[in-house]
A and B are shown apart, each in its own frame.
Chain A
Amino acid sequence: MEAMTGATITVIAVLGLAYSFGVGRALVNRYEVARAALGEASAQLEALQLVPPSDPTKAFGYVSPPSPFRYEGATLGSSSWRVLAYDEPSLPGTQDLKRIIVTVTWRNNAQTDSVSLERLWQP
């Protein structure tokens, strides 16, 4: 009886340990794509630096059409940005700055993830 109990506990412990290793490895793979997505969002935000402030794509309320997010040759998701008004408390009015949020959304192994970067611009 004791041997059976000991064996059962050992099997459960070993299986749990093996499962935790698998979960850890999957997280590393998940963060691999997340880092690439962060680079994509950063590049998109940097590219918006080149767009003049008066451009319609930087107008308050603008939502860009999604563009594909590719990683290692495969399209995993999409990237887009939207422009919101930012109310700076020390300034009069409610639309003091443009708050541009770039969001990259992707799906990998039946799991949906997203990363967002934002920057404030003068209107």
Chain B
Amino acid sequence: MAALRPVGRDEGGLTLTEVAVVMVIGTMIMAGLVGFYLASQGLWLDASTQAITQREASLVATAIRDSVRVSNRADAFSTPDALHQELALYRNASDVTPTYYFWWDPGDSLIHAGPTIGGSGPIVMSHADRFQVTKTGVAVRVDLRLRTATGSTVDMGTLAVFMN
């Protein structure tokens, strides 16, 4: 005769309450992880775009400085407003037409450069809030403000002397 096995409380498995508690804790942990991931992603994106715009601001300043140094004189015009100007550089004193331009295009808010207006593309891909040029008989001062993809701004200024 077989021995009777007691019907027990120690049988395997989970009660509905235990499953509910595990699910609640798991959901909380997953929500925390997703929140952490999204915050990290946002921080990384913000830092990356900021770094890219900083490099682009330095690039614009260097490009303008190099071009001014090989020039003899310059003209500056406000187009389309006082915050955005066009820089026209003349290689030689006898030149009647500029040999190189830097300008802000209101169509795309980017800083362009080239031997003719509209002839070349933008130097960098960061939008410029400000592109101001101050010229004297011996030097050019440029102040620019670029906007990152996430909305923050980067300021940069440079001064270059005519050496040609």
Give chain A's interface residues, CB within 8 Å of chain B.
14, 17-18, 21-22, 24-25, 28-29, 31-32, 35-36, 38-40, 42-44, 46-47, 49-50, 71-72
* Number of A-B contacts defined by CB within 8 Å: 64
Name the A residues within 8 Å of B155 (CB-CB).
Answer: 36, 71-72
Give bound CA distance, A21 to B40, whole Å.
7
The answer to whether B138 touches A39 (Cβ under 8 A) is no
- Nearest residue (CB) in B for A43 is B159
- Nearest residue (CB) in A for B161 is A49
Give bound CA distance, A40 to B157, whole Å.
7
- Nearest residue (CB) in B for A34 is B54
Give bound CA distance, A36 to B144, whole Å.
11
The answer to whether B57 touches A35 (Cβ under 8 A) is yes
Given contacts A18-B36, A28-B51, contact A46 B156 (CB under 8 A): no
Give bound CA distance, A35 to B59, whole Å.
11
B65 located at the interface, meaning its Cβ lies under 8 Å from any Cβ of chain A in the complex: yes
**B58 to A: closest C-beta gap in Å:** 6
**A62 to B: closest C-beta gap in Å:** 20
Interface contacts beyond A31-B51, A43-B159, A71-B155: sample of 14 additional A-B pairs, CB < 8 Å, sorted by A = A14-B36, A21-B44, A24-B47, A25-B43, A32-B54, A35-B57, A39-B158, A42-B65, A46-B65, A46-B139, A47-B161, A49-B161, A50-B161, A72-B153
